[in-house]
Structure formats: C-alpha cells, structure tokens
C-alpha cells in the first residue's frame, strides 16, 4: 500500500512516521530561494538589501512561534525609486501635493535621494529596523528655485515648507519594515508547507508498505 492508504488504515503508524520525519524536514537551507527573491523584488521597489563580507545577504528572520519572531533587513532605500514604485502600485503614502513638492525638490537638487537602513538588538523582528540618517534637505548654493513649478521661489522658504508638510523618512521606514513583514509571511507559509502532512505524503508517495504498515524494502 501507499502512504495515503497507510494513513487511512493505520493512522497511528502514519502519525509515528510523520513525527519521526518532521524534525528533519528542513535540514537544508530551504529559505535561500525566498530570500534571493526578496533581494530581487526589493531592488524593483527601491530597497537594496546589502551583502556582508562573508557573502551572506543582510536579510534576517527567526520563526515561527515566538512573539519576537519576524524578519528584518539592512541596506539602503532609493527614495525616488520607492516613491515611483509605490505610486504605480497604489501605495504611495503621500498626497498629490506632497508628491509634487518632493519631485520639484529632487528636480532642483534640494533633497537627498538615499537612506541607510540598519537593525539592532537580539531579535529579527521588523521593529528592530531603523534609519541611520535623514534625507539631506538643503538649498545648497541657490538663493531661489531655479526650475520647475516653483521657479523663482526663495530656496530657503521652499525647503522649510517642504519639511513642514511631510516626513519622508518616517514613511520610508514604515515601507521598509512592511517589506520585511511581507517576506516573513512568505517564509512562514513556505515553512508550514515544508513541514506539513501534505509535503510528507508527497515525499513518501513512492514507498510501499505491507499490510502491517511496515516499509517494504526494495531488493
């Protein structure tokens, strides 16, 4: 008989086999492909997950049963790229007016474009993620906005008003944390499948069992 029939006819034997298999179901680094995907998809969103000197990706996770479990990552945020991706996918956390001011600030080189993300503490949860810097917001050597919608406006007034109407860093960090949470959920779903009865049955489906539920060895 096959494993599915064994489960029906000898449920206690099936459960014993499953319990023996379960602790060893994920002895290999099953998460590598998912983390590689997180790196690739992150680049499209403006999230560049860094690589350490040992070649390991700076994406961390632990799971999946403790309150402190979760995922986090280190790297950089390309803010204009993230904003454009969010706009195109219906998730930009800014009003049209705020988006206009940001675009004009970048057009005039009054606003930085990159933020650095780091993690801290002994946990992998996304709440351990923080920014190590702010976007530089400066009029540089300009006395006025030199092009675009606000051309001719006093540069110092422009940057002051820009900073007064929105907190780009706060929203960018929220998005970076949400991305870690998104992939933590994907990892959890993958883990749950790889340790499930369904996966166990798939792996054992070619094995034959006798009427007593013992495995028949191929000679």
Percent of the chain residues past pLDDT 70, beyond the cut: 99
Residue 219 pLDDT class (50, 70, 90 cuts): very low
Q: Is residue 213 part of a domain?
A: no
Res 54 pLDDT > 90: no
Q: Is residue 147 part of a domain?
A: yes
Calpha distance 142→137 (Å, rounded):
13
Of 184, 77, 76, nearest to 126 by C-alpha is 184
Residue 90's domain spans which residues? 3-23+31-204
Adjacent-strand bridge partners of 120: none
Indicate the number of domains in the chain.
Answer: 1
Q: Is residue 191 part of a domain?
A: yes
pLDDT in tens, 59-117: 999 988 787 899 999 999 999 999 999 999 988 899 999 999 999 999 999 999 999 99
- Contact between 35 and 57 under an 8 Å Cβ cutoff? The reply is yes
Q: Is residue 215 part of a domain?
A: no
Q: Is residue 135 part of a domain?
A: yes
Q: What is the mean pLDDT of the chain?
A: 92
pLDDT in tens, 157-210: 999 999 999 999 999 999 999 999 999 999 999 999 999 999 999 999 999 988
Enumerate residues 6+ apart whose C-beta is below 8 A from 209. 1, 2, 3, 5, 6, 215, 216
Q: Is residue 212 part of a domain?
A: no
Q: Is residue 47 part of a domain?
A: yes
Q: Is residue 128 part of a domain?
A: yes
Angle between the 11-21 and 197-204 helix axes, to the nearest 10 degrees? 90
């Amino acid at each position: 008989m096959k494993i599915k029939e064994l489960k029906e006819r000898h449920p206690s034997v099936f459960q014993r086999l499953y319990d023996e298999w379960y602790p060893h179901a994920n002895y290999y680094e099953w998460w590598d492909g998912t983390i590689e995907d997180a790196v690739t998809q992150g680049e499209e969103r403006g999230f560049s997950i860094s690589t350490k000197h040992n070649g390991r990706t700076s994406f961390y996770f632990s799971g999946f049963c403790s309150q402190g479990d979760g995922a986090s990552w280190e790297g950089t945020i390309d803010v204009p790229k993230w904003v454009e991706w969010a706009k195109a996918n219906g998730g930009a956390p800014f009003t049209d007016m705020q988006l206009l001011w940001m675009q004009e600030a970048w057009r005039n080189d009054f606003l930085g474009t990159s933020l650095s993300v780091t993690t801290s503490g002994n946990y992998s949860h996304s709440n351990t993620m923080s920014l190590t810097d702010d976007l530089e917001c400066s009029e540089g050597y300009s006395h006025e906005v030199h092009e675009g919608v606000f051309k001719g406006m006093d540069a110092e007034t422009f940057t002051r008003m820009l900073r007064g109407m929105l907190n780009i860093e706060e929203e960018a960090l929220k998005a970076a944390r949400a991305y870690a949470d998104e992939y933590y959920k994907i990892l959890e779903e993958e883990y749950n499948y790889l340790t499930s009865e369904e996966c166990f049955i798939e792996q054992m489906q070619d094995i034959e069992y006798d009427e007593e539920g013992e495995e028949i060895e191929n000679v």
